[in-house]
Structure 1
Amino acid sequence: MAETAPAPYFSEIARGPDQVEAHWLTTQDGQRIRAGLWRSDGPSAGTILLFPGRTEYIEKYGPLAIDLTVRGFDVLTVDWRGQGLADRSLSDGRLGHVAEFGAFQLDVAALVAHAEALDLPRPWYLLGHSMGGAIGLRALHEGLPVAACAFTAPMWAIRIPFALRPAARLLARFGTALGVSEKLVPTTTIEQYVQVTPFEGNTLTNDPEMYAFLQMQMTQHPELALGGPTVQWLSQAMLECADLRPRPSPDVPCVTFLGENEQIVATEAIHDRMARWPSGKLEMIPDAQHEILMEIPQTRRQTCDSLTEHFKKHV
């Protein structure tokens, strides 16, 4: 069983449900990660294991937790290693780094053990966003005990501009030999995206209030911030996506949501995967960008309705 202890939770910036618990978990390789749990408003329809994306942290999902708990679900989420308040391995913690992408599965194992120790209501469901989509797909292949899954803009391939692909492949292959594996990927910044990018022209959301919410969180708790990825992270992410791509789709009912204006992850891999998921469905969201669950209110409401209806069909 994962080792646990009470952890901090910044309720003043989360704007989430009042019923919340936060714990430190210790992974098998000794990393300290943080778990957050929101309880449903009434009788529970099950527990959603929420796998966040790169740079994310528990408090970011406070508003979504309200949307899901009022629909009858408990929600358990995590600060992955290297982000949020979890352990960061480099001296400059603003660098998004992981030594090996498979290490995230140790975080998954600790989170599942925590859910079991808390005897969280079943059935369990997976909701993975962006990088959490890659971690979640791998976890499904390794037997994650969920009745159904949903993804939003899953990172099943890395989106790299065509002109930069040769350089990206060289860095991914020879970064360690060149001594740049812990250096920032060129074209990215050491600051978190919302800290340096105005709302106009951003690639995350069309909702100015939600964008301001993210900026407020960075201002009030800059220790949660995470900048661009390292060359090592890029290398490991590319290897993980390449390994996952030819694998058959898991035998788990799935719905995936993709914004029509997605500009962060590679969309062709999502179309390819969902075309090969026999019990899967792809829902295209008009006008939406990467953060579908932080989009304009109508989009958030419709997406939450759709994914929770999907979950309730599979018990």
Structure 2
Amino acid sequence: MEEAKFYKEIAEGPSSAGAYWIQTEDKVRLRVGAYHSLGDSKGTILLMLGRFGYVERYGRVAQSFADNGFSTVVVDWRSQGLSDRMADDPQAGHIHHFSDYQKDVSAMMQVVENLEMPKPYYLVGVSMGACIGLRSMLDGLPVASAAFISPMWGIKMSAVQRIAAWPLSWAAKATGQGHRYVPGESGEIYVLETPFEDNNLTHNAGMYDYWVEQAKSAPELQIGGPTMTWLFEALSECRNLSSAPSPNIACITFCGELDRLVDNDSIKARMAKWPNGEFSMIRNAKHDVLTEIPEIGGDVMSQIFAFFSKMEIQGQTHENV
């Protein structure tokens, strides 16, 4: 494990932050970031971000975590941030198999262990990261409880799009064309090409400007649209997860009423069968409810901290009985 490049100025996270290179079992080099809390620690949040995510993207969020006593570890998934890209086109959001992300999780946890990050561990999964995180929990990820933000347990599509997506993405992968972008997508950076007024992520202009400035300052951290193989693999994983039992680990889940990226019906179906699960639909919120303006999202962050604290107290009480 070696120190990696970290963009402290654009992250605006805790001062005790750093990043590290680590290699996965299939020889992919990943970058993992660590934000340390100050003072007494309540544990470490394993922050699993979505398809646009990279270590610095949620630096301000990591600062809020630190202010509330939590350290944070976050990974640049393969083909994202400064981690190795899986296609010749570095802008392509490409993978070979969705299960490869679990190799990234294993590498992330190796960094957690090497740095002796404080226990207990908590999962915060955002969009695609929530899909990866759910699979990790089913595979035994050692977390005390979890919070999911607009989890990608289904991809939002019209009926016609869904009917076409399966055979087209399968055929592209099967014929060696899976590295091509999904129709309508390209290598363009979303936040630089989409005016704030038209974005699908948040009503929070300050947060959107923060992401825009990051993209301008470090375009090498950004990626464009997903490839056909990514689409096929993501659809397959969502379908496989839909029939899997919910882990016996407490979780709280938030999604936005106006989300155009993930399928809220799939989220509701999952949470209806999750023991010790709490669900909140945020009215008028877009995809990234964690960064929504208070007038819409309320204080999702405080709700997550309260939930983690409640679960920790209940766990200690059960241990003492």
Find the aligned partners of 1:296 and 1:145 in 2 and give their Cα distance. 32
Equivalent residue runs for 1:137-216 within 5 Å: 137-216=134-213
- Which SS does the other structure have where 1:314 is aligned? helix
Alpha-carbon displacement from aligned partner over 1:210-256 (angstroms, at most 9, x marks no partner): 11111111111111110110000001001111111011100000000
Q: Where does residue 51 of structure 2 map in the other structure?
A: 54
TM-score where L is the length of structure 1: 0.96
For residue 301 of structure 1, report the CA deviation from its aligned partner: 6.6
Alpha-carbon displacement from aligned partner over 1:95-125 (angstroms, at most 9, x marks no partner): 0000000000001011112111222111110
Find the aligned partners of 1:277 and 1:208 in 2 and give their Cα distance. 34
Alignment-mate amino acid for residue 272 of structure 2: A
Find the aligned partners of 2:238 and 2:160 in 1 and give their Cα distance. 20
Q: Where does residue 64 of structure 2 map in the other structure?
A: 67
Alignment-mate amino acid for residue 290 of structure 2: L
Change (3 A) 1:298 1:20: farther
Find the aligned partners of 2:176 and 2:86 in 1 and give their Cα distance. 17
For residue 190 of structure 1, report the CA deviation from its aligned partner: 1.5
Alignment-mate amino acid for residue 49 of structure 1: L
Q: Quote the RMSD (CA, aligned, Å).
A: 1.3
Alpha-carbon displacement from aligned partner over 1:144-167 (angstroms, at most 9, x marks no partner): 000000100000011122222222
Does 1:7 find its partner at 2:4?
Answer: yes
Find the aligned partners of 1:166 and 1:298 in 2 and give their Cα distance. 38
Alpha-carbon displacement from aligned partner over 1:292-311 (angstroms, at most 9, x marks no partner): 12221566771111101111
Does 1:40 find its partner at 2:56?
Answer: no
Alpha-carbon displacement from aligned partner over 1:185-224 (angstroms, at most 9, x marks no partner): 0022221211211011211000111111111111111111
Cα pair 2:11 2:57 within 8 Å, conserved: yes
Find the aligned partners of 2:72 and 2:176 in 1 and give their Cα distance. 41
Q: Where does residue 256 of structure 2 map in the other structure?
A: 259
Change (3 A) 1:75 1:276: same
Q: How many residues are paired up?
A: 312
For residue 261 of structure 1, report the CA deviation from its aligned partner: 1.4
Cα pair 1:191 1:225 within 8 Å, conserved: no
Alignment-mate amino acid for residue 100 of structure 1: H
Q: Where does residue 119 of structure 2 map in the other structure?
A: 122
Change (3 A) 1:300 1:24: farther
Find the aligned partners of 1:215 and 1:17 in 2 and give their Cα distance. 20
Find the aligned partners of 1:128 and 1:247 in 2 and give their Cα distance. 18
Cα pair 1:159 1:265 within 8 Å, conserved: yes
Alpha-carbon displacement from aligned partner over 1:66-100 (angstroms, at most 9, x marks no partner): 11110110111110111000000211100000000
Q: Where does residue 235 of structure 1 map in the other structure?
A: 232
Residue 311 (structure 1) aligned to one of 298, 308, 311: 308
Find the aligned partners of 1:91 and 1:173 in 2 and give their Cα distance. 20
Give the stretch that moved more between structures: 185-194 or 131-140. 185-194
Find the aligned partners of 2:294 and 2:9 in 1 and give their Cα distance. 21
Give the stretch that moved more between structures: 286-295 or 149-158. 286-295
Cα pair 1:255 1:280 within 8 Å, conserved: yes
Find the aligned partners of 1:301 and 1:40 in 2 and give their Cα distance. 24
Find the aligned partners of 1:314 and 1:76 in 2 and give their Cα distance. 21
Find the aligned partners of 1:213 and 1:297 in 2 and give their Cα distance. 17
Cα pair 2:283 2:297 within 8 Å, conserved: no
